[in-house]
Structure 1
Amino acid sequence: MKYILSLFIIFFSITVAAQTKVSGIVVDSEGIEIPYANVMFPNSSEGTITNEEGRFYLESDSTYDILSVTLIGYASEEIKLEKKVNYDLKVVLNEGEELDEVVLYVGKQPKKGNPAIEILKKVWAKKRQNGIYLFDQYKYDKYEKIEFDFNTIDSAFMSKNIFKGMEFIFDQVDTSNVTGKTYLPIFINEAVSEVYGDNKMNEKVERLVGNKNSGFNTNQSVISFVKDLYADYNIYNNYIKLFNKSFVSPLSKTGVDVYNYVLTDSSYVDNKWCYNIVYYPRRKNEMTFKGNFWVNDTTFAVKDINMQVSKSANVNWVKELYIEQEFEVLSDSVFLLKRDYLLSDFSLRKKEESRGLYGKRTTVYNNYEFDKEKPKSFYNKRVDPYNELIYNRDSTFWDQNRLESLNDDEKGVYKMLDTLKTVPKFKRLYDLTTILVSGYVEIPKLNLDFGPIYSSFGYNEAEGIRLRAGGRTYFGPNDPWRLQGYTAYGFKDKKFKYGFSGKWLLDRKNRLIISGGTRRDVEQLGTSLTSSSDVLGRSFASSAIFTAGSNNTLTDLNLTTFGIEYEPVKNLVLKTETNFRTLRSALPEDFNLDYVDPDAPGGISSETKQYDVNVSLDFTPGRKTTGYGVERSNVNSNFARLYLVYTAGLKGFLESDFNYEKLQFYYRQPFQLGGIGRTITTVEAGKTFGEVPLSLLSPIPGNQTYFSIFNTFPNLNFYEFVTDTYVSGQIEHNFNGRLFSKIPFLKKLDLREIVGLRAVWGEISDANIALSAPAGAILRAPTDEVYYEYSFGIANIFKIIRIDFNFRGNYLDIPDARPFSITGNLEFVF
């Protein structure tokens, strides 16, 4: 009975949404699949092309009884459709010439004399003269709907034990109009915005007017992550960025090198005469699309376009990626984006039958206005990041402002998820997922989180086995204040450690925050050049279970801090902080931090007490964040960062030992280099003025772990180089498989090649060397020549493993120098 009911639900849901649906496969006379064949409803502009396996799916709201399948070089076929829904058709195309006047193009298309490319050249010439670029100022309304769906829903899936007690969710099963697969909506977020722009000032601002989602109002991180994943793109640009990768646009000037283009048809589309151009990749494994577009014959503006990423593209976890854009004609010469639809099929495998998760974004644009100038202050004005009214709009607002109505299944999702949250079994599954993602176990009755659970166990030579327990206050993701703390115990040194901190957001609009805390713990210092002010922060090296060589350069740290920060402009943070530190070696028999101190008994001190004041500027243009509380999370990583900090040590205050000044500079810049991959660069420089001991100097960050950690030197031991003046630079480039894809026996593995170069120059004064002479260590700096390393890496091994082979370039005569190392990581990247 359950099987029959399931089939009834699926059959009903796939037949009510559209009038005509067809799917199948196109093959030649020998049964070999034919990719990129044209599948159309005759006398219409509705059609698609077959994928690399020759399969297709097509649906329409209109009723058709004929399906036309064509490909230049083959005789066309017309299939009579007996029903409104016709699945699993098999269409056989026979080779032959149907039209004598048509030049036949088979396989790779010529670049010279190709009429499709001649049309493309005119598109390139006019691309900056279409749409909103024609006007000095513009304004439009924007409606965006983001949806997640489980796909490939069948009776076997519905009958799994995990869904017992939750069977009602399958009432919302529907069918994709792109893939033809059944799916179950599980999340919807709607947003209405007003967008203003000024082409003369190159300014743009988007003001949120309303936001609504299906039962998970606190899940801002999911929404922000998806919005960043599906960042806005322009089909006229040479590259379209999706999933942090650059895909070659079919309208790119470099497209002729990676695409085949065929002019297949011409017809009226919304009373505009247009040409239809089909395009498909010249080679597999490249970041390209396949599809077709209609382009106007006078303005050479695109009227409609669809783009589908080839399955052979080197993208993890994405089985299908489909984009559809529709443009409206404002006048004879102005084409404006009207609707943008994007669908991603996320799956662990790329096999046709594998289940996965659809991520869909639909964006509708309307109510365009032009040449209404606004002052620059309008675009720079700071607004409250959270307006409660915006997130609690009533049904009347949504009925008036939705630019595209919800279908019955989407409406049902709101009700279904509200009901689902009351089911205990679902709540347990949701809580378990939250724990795995956040690392915290929620205790709602106490408004506390226990964790992070991933820091519960560690090991180092000073503490031996280390167990840690901690927690934080948690009323919600946007708490205006937060307290957190931990305690830890080392079984070797038999000592308890602890840390405690608090933050309070005083002004949400300009993010005025006060913070403070204290920590007593064992730490591996010198793992980064630029100082960190996180009172509860802990370097990975401090708890690494396995290390290269002896990791005995640990420090017993007692730190207390208080700070005030302010964000006068978006992504520009000004901060002042005071801190008091006590530092001594955690393993004095192996590594000590002694220094010359005439006032100490015996003239030597093993402990440094230091009070510092610092002022910093942190500028992160392009950074996107989620949340509006005292803590926010970054939702993207492709932003630059400029960090400047001035530190002054004040001798005598709170028994502080040293007067000194330190200036530090840090700059990080990622680059998306079109089709050849992604580069990340960093530059750091710093100088310490005054005489300070080893504990206050700047060690060049070595890496004795077996993990690849960017901005460290994997062939340097901790404290191998120590400086008071330094300049460092690092560059890493990921080719995203561009080279391996050209090697026949490697291209199917989807491996990605990474190269890196790291270099540093530094010096240390004789006075600072003499001050720390009792430490017994030889303090050296890379002064005579720049120290450098280079590396070659292979990433995406089994989709998650990265291995780097690191080579030391010089200073090989230093005792215990490591000329070569292998490091690795688990990376979950697209």
Structure 2
Amino acid sequence: MKHFLLIFIILLGAAGFSQTKVSGVIKDESNNPVAFANVIFKDSQEGTISDENGRFYLESDKTYKSVIFSFIGYTSKEIDLPSRSNYNMEVILEESAAALDEVVVYSGKTSKKDNPAIDILRKIWENRRQNGVKKFNQYQYDKYEKLEFDLNTIDSALIKSRLFKGMEFVFDQTDTSSVTGNTYLPIFINEAASIVYGDNLLNEEKEILRGNKNSGFENNQTLIAFVKDLYSEYDVYDNYLKFFDKAFTSPLSRTGIDVYNYVLRDSAYRDNKWCYNIIYYPRRKNELTFKGDFWVNDTTWAIKEINLQASKSANLNWVRDVYIEQEFEVLNDSIFLIKRDYFMSDFSFQKKEEAKGIYGKRTTLYDNYAFNIPKDKKFYAQQVDPYNYEVYNRPDEFWEMNRMEKLSKDEKGVYQMLDTLKTVRRFKNLYNLGTTLASGYYEINNFDLGPVFSVFGYNEAEGVRIRMGGRTYFGQNDPWRIEGFGAYGFKDERFKYGLSAKWLLDRKSRLTVFGGNRRDVEQTGASLTNSNDVLGRSLASSTLLSVGANDRLSRINLTTAGFDIEPWKNFILRLTTSYRTLKSATETFSIDYKVMEDGVFTGEIKSELEQAEIQIGFMYAPGRKTSGYGVEQTVINAGDFPSFYASYGYGLKDVLGGDFEYKKIQALYTQPWNIGGFGRLFSTVEVGTTIGAVPLSLLNPIPGNQTYFSMYNSFTQLDYYEFVSDTYASLHLEHNFGGRIFSRIPLLRKLDLREVVGFRAVYGTISQENIDLNASNIVYKAPEDIYWEYSVGVGNIFRIFRLDFNFRGNYFDITDARSFGVTGVFGFSF
């Protein structure tokens, strides 16, 4: 009984926030849903559009007595509202012969040149670059941003579930979504106030955070930054709007007329400006499109208001709904500036309306615009301290003055509710479980045990391998960190270990010193570009299953020390000194080399390499976004920015017993490309050369892949050490069409599968003096005729798995050459 009473209280409390609510489904006389029909409160400008299944929800703070339903080709229908809340309505629209004539004029491919909405759209294209802050040399404005997460579709089953036992008080903060009509519970909120400066002549922009406040989770910068990147800045005038790593076609796009139907619905004054109202909706299903409407001024052709709701048939994982509202204010007769930006997404494992989910909301408000106040270029180049205690601890008075939109009653309650929730033991246990699954580490006081996913492994040298590790962890912004591991192989009966430490000396320049030592078994040659990460270990060294005998493993003893610094944002310089010894880890693999003096073989053969090296390198990643200001930062937009890496290494002979003198030059360039509505391409180019005679362990084996996992930047149909080079150039291309092809095949459309194609090629040479040094059981062969392979994959299987079919392009004459193979990879993607 108490649960029914609680539900009753929730419904009454939610009803108090809106005076009129309607929801239901619109159908035609044949009982088919009417998609994208208009739903408007009578004598108002408040309305919405039904979704692809004919369903709708509309609410208002005002009281209305009737609602009007209309759509081209049907007779409009007015229905009286007997109460303030009218749910599960079933509206039947009748076809109209007169209205059907309008369909010929306003919809379909044959109507583009005769459609007044299309004429207006062309005016928008012609004038879109003349609006907003881009019209001024310099600009600045105040910005207030509110991020919120809500648990939605609250029902009695959820309230009574064991999950919330002892935490029932949280449901006192429920509310109802004005977009979906679902009941929701706010569970997280973050507020940020900042000032933004920009210079269109210098092409620079800088945002300075003035205040930040969140609902109780102290170390949530990564979560906040992730959500901000998820809802990254966008411009509705762009041809494509990028959300969740997908490119949605904008209704204002120049290609929009091939993707959307447009209908001129109304014209009226909006803030004393005469505007046209245009409805748009997709021409086809299963494409990344929106439905909604916008108001556009009749003289400047600038957007005054726009609403966008993602097509429910769009090939998106874990996202049930996306809704966007933007409002613009009039600065003068010719300039419209953004005033309010609201973005809401509904995350859920299922797309069914009754399924539980989480709303992610971002509300951004803009005020106090000022223009043509120049700042020195040094102002934009100067690094800002990523953490200022006062910024994150502003008093309530600061927020009363800088909050451009008051918090609702429920949002205010979140702060107090979460403070209480953190004291509940059951919540602490659930929170710890979630963080362990997300990070791979289990927290014990100020120490993290893990990664838990690398406890077990297997390889030919060690057999079954057990590994336990951990790291110091006082918080994500620790100025120093120590981490290490211990491992044991049951076949070789040997203990391995690794230990590293790093210390951030200066936050602004990110001057960091580091060092460590590792004794382990490793699959060298698993990548072209060298890594001196003392705790790094390739998947190839521990994979449980492999193609053929994976026995070409080495025992490594690696010691490194060095420092890196970030003098400019996302530009990192690093100096590393290292000393390593290498020898074979199995009896079936040899790294032996001949000892030479003045180019003449002395007759001595060595099976162990000792080498000291000094390396200087830089990495530049424009557009990279990170979270945290401690010794380790979290990259929150991985795969979304280009990166450039270059290094120069010098081998020190007779220093710490170093065997060889050489010079190693390497460079790497990666670039993601959004190809409009055709998906996403990821490309990598690597080049390098080693100058001087060196043995196998210091050369550049072309990275093969004998695992059953698809590993980018490796060659799936090559065995380890199948090709060996001292100079190389490689290209990797991988394109994900995002389901564009499969969505047009009726039997495959509902599976939401995605097409992935890949192409890989490498060219390499090897000098005769390096060949003369070889005494190993590896026959040196360089890909002087460019080696290439390709793959065709089916992604998004069960939303988490991709299967690749890989084909070798040439070099079939090599013994045991693999011409075909199947690999797979698990991954989370939208």
Structure 1 residues 731 and 294, CA gap change in structure 2 (3 angstroms): same
| Shift of residue 105, structure 1, vs aligned partner | 5.2
Would you say the 8 A contact 1:528–1:700 is kept in 2? yes
- 2:556: which partner in 1? 557
Cα deviation, residue 656, structure 1: 0.8
Between the aligned partners of 1:126 and 1:105, the Cα distance in structure 2 is 26
Higher mean C-alpha deviation, range 684-693 or range 25-34: 25-34
What pairs up with 1:588-603 in 2 under 5 angstroms?
A: 589-597=587-595, 603=604
Alpha carbons of structure 1 residues 103 and 242: separation in structure 2 relative to 1, 3 Å: closer
Q: Give the corresponding residue for 2:824.
A: 824
Between 1:706-715 and 1:596-605, the stretch displaced more is: 596-605
**Aligned twin of 1:485:** 484
Which amino acid in the other structure matches residue 85 of structure 1? S
> Which stretch has the larger CA shift, 162-171 or 98-107?
98-107
Distance in 1 (alpha carbons) for counterparts of 2:551 and 2:418: 53
Q: Does 1:352 align with 2:350?
A: no
Note the C-alpha offset of 1:602. Answer: 6.2
**Equivalent pair of 2:329/2:339 in contact (CA under 8 Å):** yes
Tell me by how many angstroms 1:2 deviates: 2.1
Pairs within 5 Å for 1:54-93: 54-93=54-93
Q: Secondary structure at 1:118's aligned position in 2?
A: helix
Rounded Cα–Cα distance in structure 1 between residues aligned with 2:89 and 2:140: 47
Secondary structure of the 1:662 match is strand
Superposition pairs for residues 322-721 of structure 1, below 5 Å?
Answer: 322-444=323-445, 447-587=446-586, 589-597=587-595, 603-636=604-637, 637-721=639-723
Distance in 2 between residues matched to 1:100 and 1:672, nearest whole Å? 39
| Shift in Å, 1:453 | 0.8
1:284 equivalent in structure 2: 285
Q: Determine the structure 2 residue equivalent to 1:791.
A: 791
| Stretch deviating more after TM superposition (312-321 or 59-68) | 59-68
Q: Distance in 2 between matches of 1:719 and 1:258?
A: 50
**Distance apart, 1:223 and its partner CA:** 0.8
Cα distance between partner residues in 2 of 1:590 and 1:51: 64
TM-score normalised according to structure 1 size: 0.98
Q: Once superposed, what is the RMSD of the aligned Cα atoms?
A: 1.4
Return the alpha-carbon distance in structure 1 between the equivalents of residues 668 and 72 of structure 2.
57
Letter in 1 for 2:701: P
- Alpha-carbon distance in structure 2 between the residues aligned to 1:388 and 1:728: 47
Which string of whole-angstrom CA distances, capped at 9 and with x for unpartnered residues, describes residues 747-806 of structure 1?
A: 22111111111010101111111111x2122111111x1000011111011111101111
Matched AA of 1:369: A
**SS state of the match for residue 438, structure 2?**
helix
Question: What SS does the aligned partner of 2:8 have?
Answer: helix
State the AA in 1 paired with 2:249. V
Once the two structures are superposed, residues 305-344 of structure 1 have per-residue CA deviations (whole angstroms, 9 ceiling, x without a partner) of 1101111100111111111111111222221111111111
Quote how far apart the aligned CAs of 1:6 are: 2.4
8 Å CA contact retained: 2:132, 2:337? yes
Contact 1:342 1:360 in 2 (8 A): yes
Structure 1 counterpart of 2:714, which letter? T
1:187 aligned onto 2:196: no
Partners in 2 of 1:776 and 1:72 — Cα distance?
Answer: 77
Letter in 2 for 1:754: V
Runs of 4+ in structure 1 over 4 Å off: 97-107, 598-602
Q: Is the counterpart of residue 34 in structure 1 residue 34 in structure 2?
A: yes
Match status 1:760 vs 2:762: yes
SS of match in other structure, 1:597:
strand
SS at match of 2:280: strand
Q: 1:340-371 deviations in whole A, cap 9, x for unaligned? A: 11111111111121111111111111111111
Q: Aligned runs of 1:263-278 on 2, under 5 Å?
A: 263-278=264-279
TM-score computed with the length of structure 2 as normaliser: 0.98
Match of 1:770 in 2: 772
Residues 687 and 212 of structure 1, relative CA distance in 2, 3 Å threshold:
same
Q: Does structure 2 conserve the Cα–Cα contact (< 8 Å) formed by 1:50 and 1:56?
A: yes
Alpha-carbon deviations, 1:505-547, whole Å to 9, x = none? Answer: 0000000000000000000000100001210000000000100
Q: Give CA-to-partner distance per residue, 1:32-82, whole Å, 9 cap, x none.
A: 211111111123221111001111111111221121111121111111112
- Alignment partner, residue 140 of structure 1: 141
Given that residues 284 and 312 in structure 1 are in contact (C-alpha distance below 8 angstroms), is that contact kept between their aligned partners in structure 2?
Answer: yes
Question: Aligned partner of 1:656: which letter?
Answer: G
| Contact 2:106/2:263 (8 A) holds in 1 | no
3-state SS, counterpart of residue 331 of structure 1: coil
More deviation in 599-608 or 236-245? 599-608
Q: 1:745 aligns with which of 743, 747, 750?
A: 747
- Name the residue aligned to 1:124: 125
CA contact (8 A) 1:75 1:98 kept: no
Question: Could you tell me which amino acid in structure 2 is paired with residue 550 of structure 1?
Answer: A
Match of 1:161 in 2: 162
In the alignment, what sits opposite 2:15? 15
Distance 1:373 1:83 in 2: 57
Q: How many residues align?
A: 825
Q: Distance in 1 between matches of 2:48 and 2:127?
A: 27
Residues in 1 aligned to 2:439 and 2:797: alpha-carbon distance in whole angstroms: 26
Is residue 73–residue 100 contact of structure 2 (8 Å, CA) maintained in 1?
Answer: no
State the distance in 2 between where 1:107 and 1:798 align.
36
Shift of 1:107: 5.9
Identify which range, 387-396 or 370-379, moves more after superposition.
370-379
- Cα drift, residue 20 of structure 1: 1.4
* Cα distance per residue 1:128-157 (max 9 Å; x no partner): 111212211111111111111110001111
Residue pair 1:524, 1:553 contacting (<8 A) in 2 also? yes
Alpha-carbon deviation of 1:108?
A: 2.9
Q: Is the 8 A contact 1:457 1:465 kept in 2?
A: yes
Verify the 8 A CA contact 2:106 2:262 in the aligned structure 1.
no
**Distance in 1 separating the partners of 2:596 and 2:796:** 57
Q: Is the 8 A contact 2:73 2:102 kept in 1?
A: no
CA distance in 2: counterparts of 1:800 and 1:776, whole angstroms: 41
Contact between 1:45 and 1:269, CA under 8 Å: does it hold in 2? no
Shift, 1:119, TM fit: 0.4
Paired AA for residue 96 in structure 2: G
Q: Over residues 618-674 of structure 1, what are the superposed CA-to-partner deviations in whole Å (9 max), with x where a residue is unaligned?
A: 111111111110001110121111000000001001111111111001110111111
CA distance in 2, matches of 1:23, 1:268: 28
Deviation of the 1:10 alpha carbon: 2.3
Sort the Cα spacing of 1:517 and 1:762 in 2 relative to 1 into closer, same or farther, 3 A: same
Aligned to 2:123, the other structure's residue is in SS state helix
Per-residue deviation at 1:202?
A: 1.4
SS at match of 2:337: strand
Q: Which range moves more in the overlay, 89-98 or 215-224?
A: 89-98
Distance in structure 2 (CA, Å) of the matches to 1:13 and 1:115: 45
Going from structure 1 to structure 2, the CA distance change for 1:103 and 1:522 (only over 3 Å counts) comes to closer
Match of residue 212 from structure 2: 211
Alignment deviations for residues 188-238 of structure 1 (CA, whole Å, 9 cap, x no partner): 011111011111221111111111110112011111111111001000000
Q: Which runs of 5+ in 2 are unaligned?
A: none
